[in-house]
Chain A
Amino acid sequence: MLRKLQNTCRQLLLEGKVDVVIGYGQADSESPTHPVFITDAKDVKKLVWNDKCLINLVTYLKRPEIKSLGKSAIVAKGCDERAIVVLEKESQLERDSVFVIGMACAGVGQPLLPKCKVCDAHMPQVADIIIGSVENPSVDADTRYAELKSFLKKSPEERHKHWVKECRRCLKCYACRQTCPMCYCERCIVDVNQPQYIDSSASTKGNFAWHITRAFHLAGRCVGCDECTRVCPVGIDLRLLNMSIAKSAEQNFEFRAGVDPDAKPIIGSYSEQDREDFIR
């Protein structure tokens, strides 16, 4: 697979089809992988592909400094690719401006990441080229949201206590925002101070409001790549928040972000039949 990946990238760069390849690099086989941006066909040897390729590289596509390099090719797993679908839907990138190298992937991480255990996107769907082959398992919604389900078994008071405890530890470093492929606002609401919606200090109050905001601004958009949780320096499990909205979206609107390229985004559209049993 690696040979084919490198050859594909070399060819793309030599033929001038793309100006930069965004892929994974690695200092040595023991180290974690890191993103590499290859502009010269001579450097394609720097590309690696293994089960340490955790990063969702799609987040770099939205960065102006990457856009300024020209047309890019990106190495994407089936799960990462969903972010491309959403970005395209939201007019953040032109599908033609990026060449997607889809990698068949049966899961990454040692041990396997939680998202990989319930992944049904082993094979990319919308990639321009797919490297490798692996069977795509089918996963039902119960399995997908099993972790959330067990968390919801706690009483509301316990859940509240859990999040207060987590929010006390939050440093407000905004790594969750920076790494998120879906967070592309030039000016994040948390940086707006007229009016100041969210207390910008790392107080429990400000952190609480921030985590509600972060999760809800991703409603119907979060593709569940779990990068926010992976990069969190204090290890807050933000997946539960993302999952709760994703589950609600799937239950109420039969919608999963990035899964169906033809589906209408749920925020920004509506149905007259939406449920309103909670509205008096």
Chain B
Amino acid sequence: MSDEKEQFEPKIIAYVCNWCTYLGADLAGTNRLEYPANVRIVRLPCTGRIDFNLMVKAFEAGADSVLVSGCHPGDCHYTTGNFHARRRWILFRSLLDTMGIDVDRIHFTWISAAEGKKWQEVVTDITESTRKLGPYTAYQRVCGES
């Protein structure tokens, strides 16, 4: 059993903004900074575009954790996209909490194009914390029901 748990490789979906975090992840790559391959990156124009339905969809598709990341406040390419997103996340988290969805599996970060190192740390931390939480069976069971 303990062996099985060690073998568990979490699936992490990362919704990132095109202008900051995607470039941050790219920088991590060009700097040869190694980070876990558990993360699947989905590039979107802006955190303001990251619909909460995408986060739900990720869990439906079998993700164990979701990461949402974009530009630091004030740095948005579209000036205010991340401010709007932040406000929605505050409300969205309270809804998820009421529905008993594990809010520890949804991560929000600001990672700029210069923060390849931060990207590496964030992805490593999330992978490790999700590995500890185990697969998100509670939600996957919901999705298996007809």
Give A148's nearest chain B residue, CB to CB.
B98
Stretch of B9-17, B23-31, B34-42, B89-97 contacting A (4+ beta carbons < 8 Å): B89-97
Bound complex: CA A248 to CA B88 (Å): 11
Could you tell me if B100 and A162 are in contact, using CB atoms closer than 8 angstroms?
Answer: yes
Query: Does B146 sit within 8 A of A, measured CB to CB?
Result: yes
Q: Are A163 and B100 in contact (CB under 8 A)?
A: yes
Q: Are B95 and A215 in contact (CB under 8 A)?
A: yes
Kindly identify which residue among B95, B108, B122, B143 contacts A212, using a CB–CB cutoff of 8 Å.
Answer: B95
Contact in complex: A156, B100 (CB < 8 Å): yes
The answer for the CA separation of A208 and B145 in the assembled complex, in Å, is 11
Cross-chain contact B73 with A272 (CB below 8 angstroms): yes
The verdict on B60 contacting chain A, using a C-beta distance below 8 Å, is yes
Distance between Cα atoms of A168 and B83 in the complex (Å): 36
Of A162, A199, A248, the contact of B94 (CB 8 Å cutoff): A248
Does residue A204 face the partner (Cβ distance < 8 Å to B)?
Answer: yes
Assembly CA distance A148 to B94 (angstroms):
11
B39-64 Cβ-contact flags toward A at 8 Å (1 or 0):
00000000000011100110010000
A279 lies within 8 A of B108 (CB): yes
Q: Identify A205's interface contact among B80, B83, B145, CB under 8 A.
A: B145
Given contacts A274-B86, A276-B86, contact A208 B107 (CB under 8 A): no
A219 to B84, CA, bound (A): 13
Interface centre among A198, A208, A211, A213 (most CB of B within 10 A): A208
Residue in chain B with minimal CB distance to A213: B53
Are B92 and A216 interface neighbours, CB within 8 A? Answer: yes
Give the B interface residue count (CB, 8 A).
40
Chain A neighbourhood of B57, CB < 8 A: 197, 209
Q: How far is the CB of B80 from chain A (nearest CB, A)?
A: 6
Is the pair A245, B83 in contact by a Cβ cutoff of 8 Å?
Answer: no
B12 to chain A, nearest CB (A): 14
B91 and A216 contacting across the interface, CB-CB below 8 Å: yes
A275 to chain B, nearest CB (A): 7
B100 adjacent to A274 (CB under 8 Å): no
A182-199 to B contact mask, C-beta < 8 Å, 1/0: 000000010000000111
Q: From the candidates A240, A266, A268, A276, name the one contacting B73 in the complex (CB within 8 A).
A: A276
Q: Are A159 and B108 in contact (CB under 8 A)?
A: no
On whether the beta carbons of B56 and A212 are closer than 8 Å, the reply is yes
- Shortest C-beta distance, B143 to chain A (Å), equals 4
What is the CA–CA distance of A27 and B138 in the complex, to the nearest angstrom? 48
Measured between beta carbons, the chain B residues less than 8 angstroms from A252 are 90-91
CB nearest neighbor in A for B107: A280
Residue A280 contacts which of B53, B86, B96, B108 (CB distance < 8 angstroms)? B108
Interface: B120 (CB within 8 A): no
Tell me the complex Cα distance, A212–B84, Å. 19
Whether, in the assembled complex, B101 has its beta carbon less than 8 Å from a beta carbon of chain A, the answer is yes
**Cα distance A249–B92 in the bound complex, in angstroms:** 10
Given contacts A253-B87, A266-B87, 11 further A-B contacts (CB under 8 A): A197-B53, A204-B143, A209-B53, A213-B52, A245-B91, A252-B90, A267-B87, A268-B84, A272-B74, A278-B108, A279-B108
Q: Which residues of A contact B (CB under 8 A)?
A: 148, 151-152, 156-164, 167-168, 189, 197-199, 203-205, 208-209, 211-213, 215-216, 219-220, 240-241, 244-245, 247-249, 252-253, 266-268, 270-272, 274-276, 278-280
Q: List residues of chain B with CB under 8 Å of any chain A CB.
A: 51-53, 56-57, 60, 73-74, 80, 83-84, 86-102, 107-110, 122, 138, 141-146
Contacts A/B (CB < 8 Å), 21 sampled = A156-B97, A157-B100, A159-B99, A161-B100, A163-B99, A167-B142, A199-B60, A204-B142, A205-B145, A208-B142, A213-B52, A216-B95, A219-B95, A241-B95, A245-B95, A248-B90, A248-B91, A272-B73, A279-B86, A279-B108, A280-B107
